[in-house]
């Protein structure tokens, strides 16, 4: 399945989940807050990839009330909810997929949570290059996301998806931490670190654009 078709399928999937999304993702509140907690003091501009209804932006604006955010998501219904948040006047909303949307920038930081585990390695490395390209030198990428415990489990998930991609508009293809680290480094990031989160099957990946 090409990326454009996959984006359309993902948009339909998440639009259908709008009535239950916040309730389901309330369980991820600490994972989402971790992104804000790990941002450097003085952060002024942030790109949020997979912003959804803006749940991770609630703690962000509590810590950085004057921060400027660009929020990208493929689902217009999710973004319509975000547009009603009290801080929406400080958010530039972009409806589009991660491979075609104009991110703008440069940003001090890019954040994402629970959004990038739907892409296999080749596409993910391409995305990481796009992310690096919209960061200022010294900017940081923080990604809190689902992982596979090892490369064997990763290969099994990818094989299931690749056997019939059309069946899985929301197929999870989480990667092993070692694979994520390799892809980030291949994309040009340095100072790549992996840290635990409050969820056993999630990790926080931190990567810096150092030039």
Residue 121 token pair: 């390695």
Two structure tokens written together for 119: 């892409």
| Domains of the chain listed by start with CATH number | 3-208 (3.40.50.150)
Question: What does the alpha-carbon distance between residue 184 and residue 75 come to, in Å, rounded to a whole number?
Answer: 26
CA distance 138 to 22: 33
Residue 168 near residue 161, CB atoms below 8 Å: yes
Phi-psi region of 145 (alpha: psi -120 to 50; beta: other; left: phi over 0): beta
The token pair at 92 is: 């530039």
Contact 123, 3 (CB under 8 A): yes
**Could you tell me the mean pLDDT of each successive run of 10 residues in the chain, 211 residues long?**
73 82 86 95 97 96 97 95 97 95 96 91 95 98 96 91 75 91 97 96 96 80
> What's the chain's Rg over C-alpha atoms?
16
For residue 164, give both structure tokens. 């019939």
| Cβ-contact 37, 203 below 8 angstroms | no
3-state secondary structure of 119: coil
pTM of the model as a whole: 0.92
From the number of C-beta atoms within 10 Å of its C-beta (0-12, 13-18, 19+), residue 48 rates as: buried
Sequence-separated (6 or more) residues with CB below 8 Å from residue 111: 35, 39, 46, 47, 48, 49, 56, 60, 141, 142, 143
Report d(CA 3, CA 11) in Å as an integer. Answer: 12
């Amino acid at each position: 399945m090409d990326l454009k078709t996959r984006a359309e399928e993902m948009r339909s999937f998440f639009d259908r989940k709008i009535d239950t999304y916040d309730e389901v993702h309330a369980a991820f509140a600490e994972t989402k807050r971790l992104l804000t907690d790990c941002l450097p003091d003085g952060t002024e501009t942030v790109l949020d990839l997979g912003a959804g209804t803006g749940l991770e932006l609630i703690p962000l604006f509590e810590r950085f009330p004057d921060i400027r955010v660009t929020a990208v998501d493929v689902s217009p219904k999710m973004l319509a909810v975000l547009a009603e948040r009290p801080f929406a006047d400080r958010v530039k909303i972009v409806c589009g997929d991660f491979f075609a949307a104009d991110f703008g920038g440069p940003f001090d930081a890019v954040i994402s949570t629970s959004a990038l585990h739907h892409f296999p390695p080749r596409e993910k490395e391409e995305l990481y290059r796009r992310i690096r390209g919209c960061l200022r030198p010294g900017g940081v990428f923080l990604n809190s996301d689902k992982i596979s415990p090892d490369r064997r489990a990763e290969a099994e998930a990818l094989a299931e998806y690749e056997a019939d991609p059309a069946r899985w508009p929301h197929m999870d293809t989480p990667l092993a931490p070692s694979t994520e680290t390799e892809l980030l480094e291949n994309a040009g990031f340095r100072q790549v670190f992996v840290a635990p989160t409050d969820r056993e099957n999630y990790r926080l990946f931190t990567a810096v654009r150092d030039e």
